[in-house]
Structure 1
């Protein structure tokens, strides 16, 4: 079945384009908001070729397709539906969008998911740079770190530093895009937050430079590496721009609206939102990092065990903000290694189910789900198998907790985000790689053994 044919069938089976309010996608799932949930033919959707499962969450019908494919199917669906109608979305949001908390979490997802691929690439560049500058690797070629040309090191810094140096521009662009503002204004506003005319936040933090002082008490510096100030500024300024366009005469819109929008946005960002939210952001990071670094690996045990529940409730995308902030602040992601153990544990549990299952249908779902989870895509394993039988999911929580406990004890930290399992090894191409492999093998083995012994039997399969 071609991408076009699959998209057409999906649209038909969710009730036709007249039943679709809006369509979005994340890294693996097509997310559809519909007018009437009862019109969706769930079994028929899940029976389609290349569809790995589906579920409802936060007012969205989410179809699991996998990385790469989901982008192509989304493009084809948009061609059929013509894209979401903003007025219709606003009119129906109380009915189809869930409660305020669910909408807030989805808002984080819609803003941060589009910029994740760039940050993933940056993380891989960081990992490769770490590999190529290791003494052991260079020694194979009879070289030392001093033999690496300065120009080559500068080139690698361009690859690894650019995205995070201009992170507010990416965040503002995506926020404007999602809240109906002009994305190009969002980019410029974000670039203003990291303007070379402002002392860099890194320099101010290290004491190399002093912040600018306005009105005798407001200290202003660049917002390199900050996420929350750019996010809040983007939301408010995008809404302000939309309001302006309704009130500024058409003849003056081209000149007046961008001018006032940028001026109000940067004043608000530098003098009001930025100083306040920067402290809030640092406070959140402080709390999370202290939780993860609780003594004796307790933080890793807690997050490794219960972090897997976040995906079920649809609130895991809020972690994107934390991971991006960690990487932007000191270049390391402390959540990734612990979260990876949870994903790999799902693979261990689902493999035990696949081997023990009597039903060919269960095996056909479980075996590919194991490989998918090892590649970092856990939705087929979670929603297609482990959560369906309940106990395998509990065993995976235990396996993930033990793996996270070990990862925390060994102080594992990633150079990037959003890839886990086997592809995630690219984020640990330094002295951490053997430890990364070890903790994940433990997580996988614990979940597999516990599921094999206590988490699954034929009686459970027949009941399901």
Structure 2
């Protein structure tokens, strides 16, 4: 059994000691250490620590990959050796000073949308389960037909599958206020105002069953059900406006005037200016996304499947959360998911080939669990711990992802949700697509595995790396 206290102590030593650690936090797979002096980090020493699957410096943090579960146990030991963890806000303030403007913007984008993803994952799984239980073949097993399904049951499933997207602007505004320093509850109420039943429903307007309200003869006003960008921009402006109002309002009146003025001014701005403008921008972004995904001959799947994990390496992949949320909210499906699933499966296939081919017990113990992690949807251990170290397996994984993505695009696979991939992602394809989904994953894994086995890895590469 691993000595997690010893591992934590070795991590501290490798990053330059306690005095060089500004703060520590962790995510699902990585220990994130904010250091005072990057030059004091001994990268080779940190990568040689037991259970470490890779390490790199990115976005102002030194990130050490341990994998799910393990990272929690290592992180817990930091308190026992006298290092206190920083709050999320403290880490954000420290990280905000590091990296270029684009990196900081992407971090902020991720801070807003990542907390929303779990409920959208649950919604997607609900959609998948509903698709499964309403299939003719499944109903026949119980001697039923679609006509036998209770209307109340269908209504119940709609509550599960539609609520998050109907009130998506409220979730986005809440999270944006939280990130930009406003009161989250004010953001929540502002988002709810954007989907008020008093406004013409966005879906009804789109289908021609309702007409927008017209103010001043030229400003169209509608509800923003399933909309993302207007709520995001309104959240940024609203949080900053609240801060300015709070500075100027006497403390005795703060409780009354600050939320009153913030909501009054922001709903006017949101309905008459921000909403109409950024709803159009959102439609342009959606049209551009669909143009890319609709490229003929499977080109979209080939391109996205091949480059997706390169984007993961750069750390800016969270920007695509917005695109997936938009696809789901506007179309009710997500063709992007199957393609990126193949890119993840490809990296898992490459790591699996390394693990099975190598004679090094240590590399085998690293590569095989890393491939399993990839098959569960988390590629960082496989990428940083194995494939990028030897480089060629990473390239073979990209090729496998591109080939799998090509077939996912050709077959027209469309997920019912987002954020879960490969094995867990099967739950998003229970509506009659499951066999094709499994096929494209096997193609991605098989191509990456075969290429890595034949051309991507030899133990000579491992020996050369160890000797360097």
Is TM (by shorter chain) over 0.5?
yes
Q: Which runs of 5+ in 2 are unaligned?
A: none
How far is the alpha carbon of 1:453 from its aligned partner?
0.8
1:308–1:342 contact (8 Å) kept in structure 2: yes
Instruction: Note the aligned Cα RMSD (angstroms).
Output: 2.7
How far is the alpha carbon of 1:269 from its aligned partner?
1.4
The 5 Å alignment of 1:40-79 reads 40=41, 42=43, 52-67=53-68
Counterpart position of 1:232 = 233
1:349–1:448 contact (8 Å) kept in structure 2: yes
Is 1:360 aligned to residue 364 of structure 2? Answer: no
1:343–1:374 contact (8 Å) kept in structure 2: yes
Q: Which runs of 5+ in 1 are unaligned?
A: none
Taking a change above 3 Å as real, the CA distance of residues 417 and 92 of structure 1, as seen in their structure-2 partners, is closer
**Distance between the aligned counterparts of 1:325 and 1:391, measured in 2?**
35
2:53–2:384 contact (8 Å) kept in structure 1: no
Taking a change above 3 Å as real, the CA distance of residues 38 and 229 of structure 1, as seen in their structure-2 partners, is same
Deviations 1:357-378 (CA, angstroms, capped at 9, x unpaired): 1322211110101111111111
Taking a change above 3 Å as real, the CA distance of residues 266 and 142 of structure 1, as seen in their structure-2 partners, is same
Counterpart position of 2:397 = 396
How far is the alpha carbon of 1:122 from its aligned partner?
0.7
How far is the alpha carbon of 1:103 from its aligned partner?
0.4
**Distance between the aligned counterparts of 2:167 and 2:374, measured in 1?**
32
Taking a change above 3 Å as real, the CA distance of residues 330 and 385 of structure 1, as seen in their structure-2 partners, is same
Counterpart position of 1:254 = 255
The 5 Å alignment of 1:257-272 reads 257-272=258-273
1:8–1:80 contact (8 Å) kept in structure 2: no
Where 1:304 maps in the other structure, the secondary structure is helix
1:26–1:113 contact (8 Å) kept in structure 2: no
Counterpart position of 1:81 = 85
Single out whichever of 444-453 and 264-273 deviates more from structure 2.
264-273
Counterpart position of 2:436 = 435
How far is the alpha carbon of 1:111 from its aligned partner?
0.9
Deviations 1:297-317 (CA, angstroms, capped at 9, x unpaired): 111111111111110111110
**Distance between the aligned counterparts of 1:385 and 1:108, measured in 2?**
29
**Distance between the aligned counterparts of 1:181 and 1:207, measured in 2?**
37
**Distance between the aligned counterparts of 2:432 and 2:444, measured in 1?**
20
Taking a change above 3 Å as real, the CA distance of residues 445 and 220 of structure 1, as seen in their structure-2 partners, is same
Taking a change above 3 Å as real, the CA distance of residues 67 and 255 of structure 1, as seen in their structure-2 partners, is farther
Counterpart position of 1:337 = 338
Where 1:198 maps in the other structure, the secondary structure is coil
How far is the alpha carbon of 1:42 from its aligned partner?
4.8
Counterpart position of 1:145 = 146
Counterpart position of 1:35 = 36
How far is the alpha carbon of 1:251 from its aligned partner?
1.1
Taking a change above 3 Å as real, the CA distance of residues 178 and 92 of structure 1, as seen in their structure-2 partners, is closer
Single out whichever of 30-39 and 276-285 deviates more from structure 2.
30-39
Where 2:422 maps in the other structure, the secondary structure is coil
How far is the alpha carbon of 1:268 from its aligned partner?
1.6
**Distance between the aligned counterparts of 1:128 and 1:61, measured in 2?**
40
Counterpart position of 1:168 = 169
